[in-house]
Structure 1
Amino acid sequence: YNFDDGTVLDAGDSLVVTSFNPDSPANTRRLNGFLAHYQLDANNIRIVGGYGGQLSNSDDVVRLEAPSDAGDRVVDETLYDDLAPWSTTADGSGNSLQRLAGTANGLAASSWFASNPTPGASAGGNRPGDFNADSLVDAADIQLLCQQIMLGGNDSQYDVNGDGQVDLADHSYLIESILGTTFGDSNLDGVFNSSDLVLVFQGGQYEDNVVGNSNWSTGDWNCDGEFSRADLVAAFQAGAYAASATAGNVADPLASTMDLQAIAAADVNQPMLIQQYRKKLDRGSADQVVDELEHSVEMKQHEVVDSVFGNWY
């Protein structure tokens, strides 16, 4: 779409681009329908058109270019997707992608979130799941939600799935739909892998008998305040563990290679008594996976296991 010469956007202003020309008398009904659908006041919104293209719900590129003597130069752009870490609820379900701020990196998934469409206005600052209003949805917000759930709270801002209740369903929605990740992803990089296991064991809170001292980053993935076997079971049940593929075996959470050496090396001050140890997990239930992990630790030098794994075995 080519904007008319002299088109100016003041700081904080917005412009809506539609598929039809709003200034054409032939499009009066379409314009009125658009305004009515989104409950917009024609006196408080700027609309231009018509845009002849069509953006894909799944993935596409939006680029803003400015003319120059050397040719058009890119002023801003985004390349969005419907796969994590991008929000998946803007793909045909009625939501649209909203930018946290005009200065946020347009190419970064963390700069965008899915919300109800707001033509002509920004929903930035109202990001679902940002309970502490710091413009981020992170482990701190997961912890705030878990506290509400454990206390039986009923604050509507924590009802992120909109079912009228604040419970574990909201926890799952926050993790999977808003953050676009899975249980076990302790560092919130969009993948549950050995790096997450290193992080949680480094925290040293696995079944430490200290009540309520754990959070998402230290292994509390089921929102009960503890890092225990139940969290590992929940993570493996989600079926998203990403391990290195072995011969004839593409990475699979229940039929993959688990690198326990990486976990043992979480504390760099510990002697490397466990070297080149890999345990292939047979396909089975999440409980069987955890049983295998616990049994494998029993086979190691006890002094290293005690310091690295705590009560793991």
Structure 2
Amino acid sequence: GEHTVEIWHFDRSGTGVLEFGIAAGTKTEFDDSFRLVGDAGHRNFAPLIKTDLQDDIRNESATAYLRIPFDVEDPNNIGNLLLRPRYGDGYAAYLNGTLVASANAPEQLTHTSTAVIDRFDSAALVQDLIDLTEHKALIKQGTNLLAVQALNNAADDIDMFYSTDLIMTLSEAPINLTQSTSIKARAYLDGKWSVLTNPTYTVAFPASAENLRISEINYHPSSATLAEIDAGITDADDFEFIELTNISDEPVDLSNVSFTQIVVDGNDEGVAFDFAEGSITEIAPGQHILVVEDIAAFQARYGTELPVAGQWSGALSNSAETISLVAGEQLIHRFKYSDAWYPRTDGGGATLEVFSPATQALGDWAAASGWRPSVIGGTPGAAASVNPGDVNADGIFDSADLLIVFQAGEYEDGVTGNSTFEEGDWNGDGDFNTSDIVFAFMQGNYIGDQPQVPAAAVAVRNDFTDTNDDDDDKRLKKDPKIALHDSLFESWV
């Protein structure tokens, strides 16, 4: 059809040339191919001014046109769409050709339009907030255009200013993180934005028997010292604790983990603690954390620097108790310990420790062979520090320890899985045999007259008569020796 086109051309130099073309056909959507061309110089006269048009339009026009192209990868991810303009007197904003916002603009806009009011300069520096969310369907994948007609109150007005931010927030769908990362964010509430934050979000994996293990139990602590008694702590049970270890290479979420009590013969057994209500809800790879009977008592004995998640309800029996650890409805651990396993863990100052929680089978937790007596005081918050061979827990591996294990009479006795740490099972396989002696001596911690591996055992096995037996702590008068043949033991004599 025929259309009337009006063209205004301001010729300032006397040599201006205007070219105008109209393409044939029709348009079914906004077409950005036709545009007004003006001054795009970046003079930076002030922090808020990027393009200075004063010399070009003052006393000539009260209108200036701004074009702000931007790219959107996926419009479906847009949650909220906000326009934040600063303007001198008025404006009209178009998103991909559709009018979406205006202020102080006349009903009919032309290229000679002026703002309907003259605003104070101070008002121009206040950034408005316009919610354009209802117009977010106008945004398409790829390049989009925000076009603005800035309006001054009059062509000869000495000031004219316009700037804007177009803000797109993500949709309310959750953000799925596949690895720990930092995300810059701020909140919008009651028309105001919070300060920008840069929190680090850690991706933690759900707790299970594959990544979380009980690694130490102090069920019958040693009596309170005089200093602890003076501090008002008289009950040794107040020093009880249970240690958990993350045996995986990833952080583990504890928010669904809890210790639970079970009813056995009409009585509650175990302790109760919900990590969701504790001070630690995530455990790092290889980290050890603690749950205790009494935080004040625990810190009085072990200090305040250890990672304590909280204080349980219930108590640990000094003789035997069933402990249950769950993640929601999933059972992680359930086993019963016994004070008969290692006497020195029963009030003697040592704790029960799992020597290798990452490699031992879950069934080991219910047997003495799966545990070791710790050094005196235990190792809460740290890996087990068991010294293979040191069965009397005096801190050294010497002939006194060898005397104890051979007196137990379980060396290669033909009974599978019947030996504990104190009976010579130092490598954790449940038996006392040559491999345990090799393992202990290969640690290089034996204290004596440089015995050859594992020579001490032979003399002890053959003859216990040559001992100092003035007291109960029998020791060989001389550290035994035996030569090795091709790195293997010579036959017992």
Structure 2 length normalisation: TM-score?
0.27
Answer 1 or 2: which has greater helix percent: 1
Answer 1 or 2: which has greater strand percent: 2
Structure 1 length normalisation: TM-score?
0.40
